[in-house]
Amino acid sequence: MEKRYQVFISSTYNDLREERTKVFQTIMQLDCIPAGMELFPAADEEQWKFIKRVINDCDYYLLIIGGRYGSLTTEGISFTEKEYDYAVQQGLKVIALIHGQPDQIAAGKTDKSPAAAKKLAKFREKASTGRLVQYWKEPSDLPGLVALSLSMTMKLYPAIGWVRANAVASSEVLADLNELRKRNKDLEEQLAKVQAKGKESVFAGRTYDELYTVLNEEKVYVVVGDPEEERETTALVAMIAFADDLARGVSNAFGASKSEARLFYGVATRLSVYGLTDFTPIPRNVAWQRLALTDTGKKFVAAVKAKRAAKKKAEQSNTTKSEAASLKSGSAASAAPLSELSEIASAPGTPTGALGQEKAQNEVPVKRVALKKAPPTE
Q: Mind listing the pLDDT tens digit for each residue in 264-310?
A: 988 999 899 899 999 988 887 777 888 999 999 999 999 999 988 88
Residue at 376 is within a domain? no
Instruction: Please determine, for residue 170, whether its predicted confidence score (pLDDT) is greater than 80.
Output: no
- Lowest model confidence (mean pLDDT) among 207-221, 242-256, 283-297, 330-344: 330-344
Overall domain count for the chain: 3
108 pLDDT tier (thresholds 50, 70, 90): confident
**pLDDT tens per residue, range 139-162:** 999 999 999 999 999 888 888 888
Same domain membership, residue 186 and residue 146: no
Q: Are strands 290-293 and 277-279 parallel, antiparallel or unpaired?
A: antiparallel
* 129 and 236 assigned to the same domain: no
Considering the domain architecture, whether residues 91 and 177 belong to the same structural domain is answered as no
1, part of any domain: no
Secondary structure in 3-state letters for 337-374? HHHHHHHHHCCCCCCCCHHHHCCCCCCCCCCCCCCCCC
How much of the chain, in percent, has pLDDT values that exceed 90? 36
3-state secondary structure of 198: coil
Do 129 and 217 have their domain in common? no
Here the CATH number for the domain that contains residue 29 is 3.40.50.10140
Domain assignment of residue 367, yes or no: no
Asked whether residue 363 is assigned to any structural domain, the reply reads: no
Q: What distance in Å separates the CA atoms of residue 361 and residue 280, rounded to the nearest whole number? A: 32
pLDDT digits (tens, 9 = 90+) for 43-102: 555 678 888 889 999 999 999 999 999 888 888 999 899 999 999 999 999 999 999 888
- Residues of the chain with pLDDT > 70, as a percent, come to 76
Kindly report the pTM of this predicted structure. Answer: 0.44
Decide if 63 is inside a domain: yes
Are 350 and 218 contained in the same domain?
Answer: yes
Together in a domain, 294 and 262: yes
Residue 182 counted as domain residue: yes
Residue 360, CA distances (Å) to 127, 226, 249, 323, 363 in order: 49, 21, 24, 20, 8
- Given this model, what pLDDT does residue 372 score? 40
On whether both 239 and 284 belong to a single domain, the answer is yes
What is the span of the domain harbouring residue 334?
212-357
- 134 and 218 share one domain: no
- Shared domain for 177 and 285, answered yes or no, is no
Domain-located, residue 305: yes
Q: Are residues 190 and 249 in the same domain?
A: no
pLDDT, position 368: 37
Is 232 contained in some domain? yes
Which residues have a Cβ under 8 Å from the Cβ of 310 and sit 6 or more positions away? 328
Judgement on whether residues 10 and 151 belong to the same structural domain of the protein = yes
Query: Does residue 174 sit in the same domain as residue 245?
Result: no
pLDDT, position 257? 87
Computed over every residue of the chain, the mean pLDDT equals: 79
